[in-house]
Copies of this chain bind each other. A is one copy, B any other.
Amino acid sequence: MRAITEEKFELILKFLEENKIDVLLITDSENSRNVNLQYLSGHPTDATMLIKSSGESFLIPWDIALAEKHSEVEEIINPANFSFNTLLTLKDLFENRWKKSEIMVGVHSMTSYGYIVKMKALIPGVKFFEEPIQIGQLLQELRATKTEFEIKSLIKAAEIGTKTINDIREFCMNSPNGTEKELSFLVRKKIADYGGDDIAFETLVANSSRAHELHQYPFASDQKFGLPGLALIDFGAKCQGYHSDITIPISFGKLSDEQNKMREFTINAYETAIEMIDIGVALWKIHDTAEQILKKGGYSMPYALGHGLGLTEHDSPIISRKPTDEYSKKHWKEETIQDGMVFTIEPGAYKQGLGGQRLENDFLIRNGKVELITKSEPLEF
């Protein structure tokens, strides 16, 4: 089943018409994933989808049986008739079936440049809409507010994530010598046990010796997790393609004053930010407020305070600062909190030698109200 509503689908058709685009093309393959395929067609993976400005949609899947089970389109076209070559299948469709000597194709901004060049060489009548970023943005905006169907999956993913917190607590209590990798495995196992289809992303498990890093590599190491100081675990569950995202700040042993201060500032930034969440509030203001608090403590947060959750782990909206450079300013517009949004809030404080703290929960805006859908809180051992 496709997630997009009829109403939003009409907005796509309107966009195509206004921009004189004959057909929108979304392609998903091993080398270039694009969740809009699932969003628009219901088919999860490895296919090319076409949406004509008249509203008809077509799917060229690698696996016909899978498409018959999952997709919601007017026609499934079998690429086996064209040696499984999608471009040859498209050529036949455009030239022989649609009899188009010229066709304006709108592609998603993530489409590879190689694909564009190949299509142009193979189907000379193709012209590409020159603002692929507008297409990417339109789809992101449509996906930023969720339908009831999507919210159900997001809540399930959030609940499974929350259940797992208890297992993480027990691991920290009962396995003082347990490694980061062991904890990462436990999270994966429990998420599966609780009915998740998968983890949402590679679980990041960082003990106090590396929790200050922005970008732990590897995500979980063979080091012991419970070293004295400030540690964190960042994880989530995936259900029917939808993601949850939780970070638990965890401390082991007696903390120094500076470490206690990192905790306090993180919690303060978090609490101040979530109190601001309300329909119509500008996202950048929430980010700025949290960042200012952290700055006063001497901490920098060089990332966005929060991000949407949906078919990707980083969906729209992004809760981030206003851009400062001229180019980005020109393309930026103020976004505000709206009904149907699901997003994280995740401030943190990090210092080499002391560790890192980040508190992250997921929020749903429904019927004008803010719902906290995950239940992370700082843990102490």
Contact = CB atoms under 8 A, between A and B. Distances in A.
Interface in A165-220: 181, 185, 188-189, 192, 197, 213-215, 217-218
A110 interface: yes
Nearest to A328: B85
A44 interface: yes
Contacts of A327: 87-88, 121-122
B218 A197 contact: yes
A309 B189 CA distance: 29
Contact of A118 (B133, B188, B197): B133
B197 A192 contact: no
Q: How large is the interface on A (under 10, 10 to 19, 20 to 34, 35 or more residues)?
A: 35 or more
B32 A110 contact: yes
Interface in A277-330: 302, 314, 323-325, 327-328
A131 B302 CA distance: 37
A360 interface: no
A318 B209 CA distance: 43
Interface in A248-292: none
Given A46-B215, A181-B192, A133 B110 contact: no
Interface string A319-351: 000011101100000000000000000000000
Contacts of A118: 133
A30 B314 contact: yes
A116 interface: yes
A331 to B, nearest CB: 9
A217 B83 contact: no
Interface stretch (A49-57, A59-67, A371-379): A59-67
User: What copy number does this chain have within its complex?
Assistant: 2
Given A109-B112, A112-B109, A85 B325 contact: yes
Interface string A121-140: 11000001011110010000
Interface string A216-244: 01100000000000000000000000000
A96 interface: no
Interface string A99-110: 000000001111
Contacts of A30: 314
A217 B128 CA distance: 33
Contact of A323 (B83, B133, B314): B83
Contact of A117 (B82, B83, B131): B131
B136 A117 contact: no
Given A80-B302, A323-B83, A327-B122, A215 B63 contact: yes
A214 B113 CA distance: 29
Contact of A110 (B62, B80, B112, B218): B112
A185 B181 contact: no
Contacts of A136: 114
A84 interface: yes
17 contacts: A62-B215, A63-B213, A63-B214, A65-B213, A65-B214, A66-B215, A82-B325, A83-B324, A88-B325, A112-B112, A112-B113, A113-B113, A113-B115, A117-B131, A118-B133, A185-B188, A197-B218
The 5 closest A-B pairs by CB, nearest first: A109-B114, A63-B215, A110-B112, A111-B113, A114-B133
Given A63-B213, A63-B214, 11 more contacts: A30-B314, A32-B112, A45-B217, A62-B214, A65-B213, A83-B325, A88-B325, A111-B114, A112-B112, A113-B132, A121-B327
Interface of A: 30-33, 44-46, 62-63, 65-66, 80, 82-85, 87-88, 107-118, 121-122, 128, 130-133, 136, 181, 185, 188-189, 192, 197, 213-215, 217-218, 302, 314, 323-325, 327-328
